[in-house]
Amino acid sequence: MKITVSGETKEVRQGLTIAQLIIDEKVETPEYVTVTVNDEFLKSGSFEETILQENDTVEFLYFMGGGR
């Protein structure tokens, strides 16, 4: 099936979870990543049970603190 990951269309297997996609995509510092699927934020505890569907769009986001 096809999904879009960070703007790139990819062919992935049926039943792929967000947790496995994070591993497959070699996401840097996965413990700090925020994930959206179709512009909806996922709770970090749901990555293992969230199964991707055909034409889903996934983004990996990092929020940085700082400033004054």
CATH (domain of 9): 3.10.20.30
Task: Tell me, yes or no, whether 11 lies in a domain.
Answer: yes
Residue 49 lies in a domain: yes
Task: Using DSSP, state whether 52 is helix, strand or coil.
Answer: coil
Q: At residue 53, does pLDDT exceed 90?
A: yes
Please give the model's pTM, rounded to 2 decimal places: 0.89
Sign of the alpha-carbon dihedral angle for 59, 56, 21, 12 = negative
In a domain, 67, yes or no: no
Determine contact, residues 51/16, Cβ cutoff 8 Å: yes
CB 38 within 8 A of CB 30: no
* pLDDT tens readout for residues 34-49: 999 999 999 989 999 9
Closest CA to 61 of 23, 21, 29: 29
Which 8-state DSSP code applies to residue 17? B
The domain tally of the chain equals: 1
Is the pLDDT at 14 greater than 70? The verdict is yes
Report whether pLDDT(67) > 70: no
Asked if pLDDT for residue 8 goes beyond 90, the answer is: yes
Looking at residue 62, its pLDDT comes to: 87
